[in-house]
A = this chain, B = another copy of it.
Amino acid sequence: MSHNTTAPSLDLIFAALADPTRRAILEMLLEDDMAVTDVAEPFEMSLAAISKHLTILMRAGLIAQEKRGRVKWCKLQPDAMRASSIWMQGFGQFEALDLEGLERFLEHELSGSAELDP
């Protein structure tokens, strides 16, 4: 409800989402919080590369990182997606500003269904 301390720009968010590796990471985090090493495991690139990707995701506000012991846990930050999602909704409505679509959208939203389709 309240604004974040420093709401990251659409620039940062969309740029972060433009990379397939980073989107895959986000999808992984949808299931559970993960340590950096575990995030890196399925990818064929260096740990350092993944670390960079995580930094980009964090600066976009899409994830948060919390260090517990020597392990840094990565956690999805769904709020960050909201601004860009709303921005895009504006175009979905485009077709004659159909409130029906909006209603459907709201119903869908309120019903709390959450299908992910990779």
Q: Which positions in A face B, CB cutoff 8 Å?
A: 1, 10-11, 14-15, 17-20, 23, 26, 30, 76, 78-79, 81-102, 105-106, 109-110, 112-117
Cβ of A92 and Cβ of B110 under 8 Å apart? Answer: no
Dominant SS at the A interface? helix
Using Cβ atoms and an 8 Å threshold, which residues of chain B touch A115? 90
Between A and B, 14 residue pairs with Cβ closer than 8 Å are A15-B15, A15-B18, A17-B18, A30-B90, A30-B91, A76-B94, A78-B94, A81-B88, A81-B91, A81-B92, A83-B101, A90-B115, A90-B116, A96-B112
Most B Cβ at <10 Å: residue of A1, A94, A106:
A94
